[in-house]
Amino acid sequence: DAKTTQPNSMESNEEEPVHLPCNHSTISGTDYIHWYRQLPSQGPEYVIHGLTSNVNNRMASLAIAEDRKSSTLILHRATLRDAAVYYCILNHNNDMRFGAGTRLTVKP
Amino acid sequence: DAGITQSPRHKVTETGTPVTLRCHQTENHRYMYWYRQDPGHGLRLIHYSYGVKDTDKGEVSDGYSVSRSKTEDFLLTLESATSSQTSVYFCAISEPKQGSGQETQYFGPGTRLLVL
């Protein structure tokens, strides 16, 4: 199974951009890169996904390396409500394997 | 928010007793999933369903069974609960999309189960 590697934790200041990295060196050509986040005491929620091209939506941007072996989730202006665990997942035939994710702390 | 509810939200039970958790959706999504979340393991897939009466095993299915008799309901049963099944259980739903791998999953609020 293709796996992802993320830092255990990151810190950010409120209203500053945050770049959350993810390595997925064994990604296959048909794997989509998904990001979910989990706020305290809630279920995970979808953030964004992509295949090869960079993607933007109202929540975040996803930058995918040209060789697809890494990606970065970008929160353009972190707020206190963005404090959560962020999961980078490779979706292969709707099989998603969650790792431990990155715990993002946002400081006021 | 996706219309997904889980019941009960909290449950304490004793080892050896049967437990059934219910997931109910109002989105008419075809796929439904049960995950468990434990410290140090992230979320792990227990069972999933790709339609009424169509289910399959996930990564950690031992000790669990599921049933789906209606599109909107997906039941997870612990036939004889053990302390190792103490966990937070999440239900999720998704709708198949062209280009497998694009489906996004929507999660319920979770059920905290404590087996004494």
pLDDT digits (tens, 9 = 90+) for A70-98: 999 999 999 999 999 999 999 877 778 88
Task: Please write the tens of the pLDDT for every residue from A42-73.
Answer: 999 999 999 999 999 999 999 999 999 999 99
Amino acid at B73: D
- Selection from A70, A100, A66, A83 nearest residue A18 by Cα: A83
Half-sphere exposure (CA, 13 Å, Cβ side) for B49?
A: 24
Which residues of chain B make contact with A94, given a CB cutoff of 8 A?
A: 31, 94, 96, 100-101, 103
Which residues of chain A make contact with B101, given a CB cutoff of 8 A?
A: 30-32, 51, 91-94
Task: Please write the tens of the pLDDT for every residue from A5-31.
Answer: 999 999 999 999 999 999 999 998 889
- Selection from A31, A4, A6 nearest residue A94 by Cα: A31
Q: Sheet with B19-25: list strands edge to edge.
A: B4-7, B19-25, B73-78, B64-70
Chain A residues at the B interface, defined by Cβ less than 8 Å, are 30-32, 34, 36, 41-46, 49, 51, 87, 91-101
Pairing of strands B42-51, B106-107: unpaired
| Pair A51, A33: CB distance under 8 Å | yes
Beta-bridge mates of residue B12: B114
Task: Please write the tens of the pLDDT for every residue from B13-69.
Answer: 999 999 999 999 999 999 999 999 998 778 999 999 999 999 999 989 999 999 999
Amino acid at A100: A
| Pair A12, A78: CB distance under 8 Å | yes
Query: Look-up: residue for tokens 């809630």?
Result: A42
Which residues of chain A make contact with B45, given a CB cutoff of 8 A?
A: 95-97
B101 and A42 within 8 Å at the Cβ level: the answer is: no
User: Could you say which residues from 20 to 39 on chain B have a Cβ atom under 8 Å away from some Cβ of chain A?
Assistant: 31, 35
A1 pLDDT exceeds 70? no
